[in-house]
A and B are shown apart, each in its own frame.
Chain A
Amino acid sequence: MVARNQERLDTLFKDLVIRGAAGAHCFCTDLNQVDQHPIIMDEAVKTLGEIDIVLIAHGTLSNQAQCEQSITLALAEIHTNALSVVSLLTPLANQFEAQKKGTIAVISSVAGDRGRQSNYVYGSAKAMLTVFLSGLRQRLNSSGVSVLTIKPGFVDTPMTIAFKKGFLWATPETVATSIVRACDTKSGVLYIPGFWYFIMAIVQAVPEFIFKKLKL
C-alpha cells in the first residue's frame, strides 16, 4: 500500500492483517512527487519479487470553478489525476512486460468519456488515463499482461462527501467486488455499476452542436 498519511496506513495495515492478509507492506509518500516513483518500484520488487496485480486508485476531485481561475490549480489537478499516474505506469509497464504476466488496474472515471462544463479539468485528466491505458493494453497484450480501465460512476466515498446521494450512487463495497471480479476475468474496460456503460453511450452519442448547449 502506498499512501500519503502514515497514521492511516498504520490503521489499514493492522486491519488487513487481522482480516487475514498473509502480509502487508506500506510506503508513505505523496504520489505527486514523481521522483519517488523509481524508489517505490524498487521497494515493491524487492519486497514482493513479482507483482501480480497493481491497483492505482489515487486522485482528487477538482473544484472546477477554482481551476478556471487559477493556472497553477488547473495544472496541479492534471498532475495529480493524470501525470502522476502516467509516471507510475511507465516503470510498472516495463516490470509487467518483463514478468510476462499480471494485471494493471487503474481507476479512471466516466467523467473521462466526454468533457462537460461542470468538471472538464478532472474529466480531461481521466480522459488522458483512459487513452493511455487503451494504448498500454494493446502493447502488453502480447506479453500476457492485462490492463484494466475502471470507470466508476458516483461512488459514496470521502471524495464525494459533499454530494447529495441518490439512486445512481454505488457503495465502495459494490465497486470493490466488481474490480476483483474484473481482475480475475482479465477484463479490459469496466463500468461500475454496469448501467453507466449505457448512460455514457448516450452522452457520447449526442451531436456536438446539441451537446454544447447542454448544462451538464
Chain B
Amino acid sequence: MRINGWGRYPSVDADIFLPQNFADIAQFMQTSATCIPRGLGRSYGDSANHSTVIQSSYLDHYLAFDRITGILTCEAGVSIRTILDMVVPLGWFLPVTSGTSYVTMGGAIASDIHGKNHHSSGTFSEHVLSFDLMLASGEMVTVSRQHLPELFQATCGGMGLTGMILSVTLQLKSIGSGYILQDTYRFSSLEEVCEQFEMNQAATYSVAWIDCLAKGSQLGRSLLMLGEHDTNQEFALPKKKVLNIPMDIATGILNSYSIKAFNFLYYNKSRLQKPHSRLPYTSYFYPLDAISNWNRLYGKNGFVQYQFVIPKESGVTNLRKILTQIVASGKGSFLAVLKKFGKANTNYLSFPMEGFTLALDFQMSQSTVELVKKLDEMIVAMGGKIYLTKDALMSETTFKMTYHAWETFQDVRSRYGAIGKFSSQQSRRLGLN
C-alpha cells in the first residue's frame, strides 16, 4: 500500500503490520527485517515512511487511570483526541498537546511534541513518567528518567528509531473547565509581537499568527493569542460537525492572491471581534481538526511544512531576515505560526530550545525545494534547527550541524541493537543508519 505523511510528500510503497498485542510485536521483531513504527501518520514528511511499518492502530486500550491523581497509562496507539474525550469531563487535560488531536501517545513521545505552553510546561516527554519499549531483540523494557535514562533521552524525540513504544504512563493536569478564555491582540510589526511574547510569559498558552505575505513596514504584522483554562466547572461541550475535503483541490487554487485575501480577512476580522472570547478547548487547540483531510487543499503534489527554531539572542533581527526571504519568494502560507519557546530539555533529538519558532506550509514544487534549501542555510548560520516531525527535505549535513547530540543518539541506538532494525526514509536521508 502507498503511504505518506500528512504533507503527502514523499510517499512510499509499504507493507503495513497491524499488531493486536505486544506478543505479536515481539514475534515480528524476531522474524522480520527493518521497519519503522507508525501511528496516525500525522508527521508531515517521511519520518514514518518505510517499506515495512508497524502501525499502532489496534493498540488502543487504556491500561490504568487514577481519577484522583490524574495518572494515566494507555497503549501507544491511543490518540490525544480519545484521551481528551474521556478525561476532560472528569476535570483533567493533557499537560502538553500539539496543534492536532490526531496524534498517538507513541507519536507524541517519538516527536516529543510541544504546544502553546512550551514556555511554561516544556515538551510532552517532560510529563511522561515512564513507557514500555519493545527493543529490536523483541525484549520489552520499562523506560523512565530513573531507569535506563539514556534510552529515555534517545526515545523521546527519537522519531521511532530506538524501538516500538508499547504503552505510556503520564501525569495529566487538572483543569476547571472544558473552555479556554482567549485574548487576541493585533500587532503591526515583528518587533512588537516578539516583545509581547516576553511580556506575557505568565500566560499559560501563547501563540501568534503571522501574515507571511505582508511586506515593508507591515512585515510581521500578526495576531497574538493568549489562552487560559476557564474555571467555571463547565465541562460539557457543544457537538460540532466535521467538514471534509473529499478530494484533491486543483493545484493553483492556493496561490499568492487567495492567500493574500485570506490573510487580509483573518488579520482584519479581529477588528470586528471582541478581543476577549471563550472557546471550547477543541476550537482553541485544534481548529483544523474540524476539517477532515485539509491536506488535500494543497493538491496532489502535497506540501511541506517547515518549522525552525532560532536562538533568542538576535532572534528578532534574524526572524526579520528569514521573513524577508519568505516574503520575497511570494510563497508565504496562510498558516504561519510564531511561538517563543522556553528552555530546551536534555533529550538528544528533541526540537525545542530557548528562542523563536516559526511554522509554515509551502505547496510542494521545485521552487519550494530551492527556497527551503536557502532557508536551511540561513538557519544553520543562525545556530537554529529544523523540526524533524515536519521535515521532508533537510540534508544530512544540515542535520548533523544542528542536532549536536546526534552521535550520542546513534551510540545509544547501537547499544540497543536499533541500528539496522529501525529505519525510515527520513533516517536514511539524515545519515542515521
Interface residues of A (CB under 8 A from B): 7-8, 11-12, 14-15, 18-20, 158, 161, 164-165
CB of B170 to closest CB in A, whole Å: 14
Q: How far is the CA of A8 from the CA of B61 in the complex (A)?
A: 10
The answer on a CB contact under 8 Å between A7 and B61 is no
Let me know if B63 is at the binding interface, CB within 8 A. Answer: yes
Q: How far is the CA of A164 from the CA of B1 in the complex (A)?
A: 7
The answer on a CB contact under 8 Å between B21 and A15 is no
The answer on a CB contact under 8 Å between A11 and B21 is yes
Within 8 A of A (CB), among B60-117: 61-65, 86
Interface residues of B (CB under 8 A from A): 1, 18, 20-21, 23, 58, 61-65, 86
Q: How far is the CA of A14 from the CA of B63 in the complex (A)?
A: 6
Q: How far is the CA of A18 from the CA of B65 in the complex (A)?
A: 6
B86 contact from A8, A14, A19, A161, Cβ within 8 A: A19
Q: Taking A14-B64, A15-B62, A19-B62 as contacts, is the C-beta distance between A158 and B21 under 8 angstroms?
A: no
Instruction: Give chain B residues whose Cβ lies under 8 Å from the Cβ of A15.
Output: 61-63
Q: How far is the CA of A20 from the CA of B67 in the complex (A)?
A: 11
The answer on a CB contact under 8 Å between B58 and A158 is yes
Instruction: Give chain B residues whose Cβ lies under 8 Å from the Cβ of A7.
Output: 21, 23
Question: What 6 A-B pairs are tightest by C-beta distance, nearest first?
Answer: A18-B62, A15-B61, A18-B65, A15-B62, A11-B61, A161-B18
Q: How far is the CA of A158 from the CA of B65 in the complex (A)?
A: 27
Q: Taking A11-B61, A12-B61, A18-B62 as contacts, is the C-beta distance between A158 and B18 under 8 angstroms?
A: yes
Instruction: Give chain B residues whose Cβ lies under 8 Å from the Cβ of A165.
Output: 1
CB of B9 to closest CB in A, whole Å: 21
B62 contact from A8, A14, A158, A161, Cβ within 8 A: A14
Could you name 25 residue pairs across A and B whose Cβ atoms are closer than 8 Å? A7-B21, A7-B23, A8-B20, A8-B21, A11-B21, A11-B61, A11-B63, A12-B61, A14-B61, A14-B62, A14-B63, A14-B64, A15-B62, A15-B63, A18-B62, A18-B64, A18-B65, A19-B62, A19-B86, A20-B86, A158-B20, A158-B58, A161-B18, A164-B1, A165-B1
Interface of A is mostly: helix
Residue of B nearest to A161 (CB): B18
CB of B245 to closest CB in A, whole Å: 14
Q: How far is the CA of A164 from the CA of B63 in the complex (A)?
A: 31
Residue of B nearest to A7 (CB): B21
Residue of B nearest to A5 (CB): B21
Q: How far is the CA of A158 from the CA of B86 in the complex (A)?
A: 25
Given contacts A7-B23, A14-B63, A165-B1, 10 further A-B contacts (CB under 8 A): A7-B21, A8-B21, A11-B63, A12-B61, A14-B61, A14-B62, A18-B63, A19-B62, A20-B86, A161-B18
Instruction: Give chain A residues whose Cβ lies under 8 Å from the Cβ of B65.
Output: 18
Q: How far is the CA of A165 from the CA of B55 in the complex (A)?
A: 15
Q: How far is the CA of A12 from the CA of B62 in the complex (A)?
A: 8
CB of A173 to closest CB in B, whole Å: 10
Instruction: Give chain A residues whose Cβ lies under 8 Å from the Cβ of B62.
Output: 14-15, 18-19
Q: How far is the CA of A7 from the CA of B64 in the complex (A)?
A: 16
Interface centre among A158, A164, A165 (most CB of B within 10 A): A158
Instruction: Give chain B residues whose Cβ lies under 8 Å from the Cβ of A158.
Output: 18, 20, 58
Residue of A nearest to B78 (CB): A15
CB of B81 to closest CB in A, whole Å: 11
CB of B28 to closest CB in A, whole Å: 13
Residue of B nearest to A158 (CB): B20
CB of B78 to closest CB in A, whole Å: 9
Instruction: Give chain B residues whose Cβ lies under 8 Å from the Cβ of A161.
Output: 18
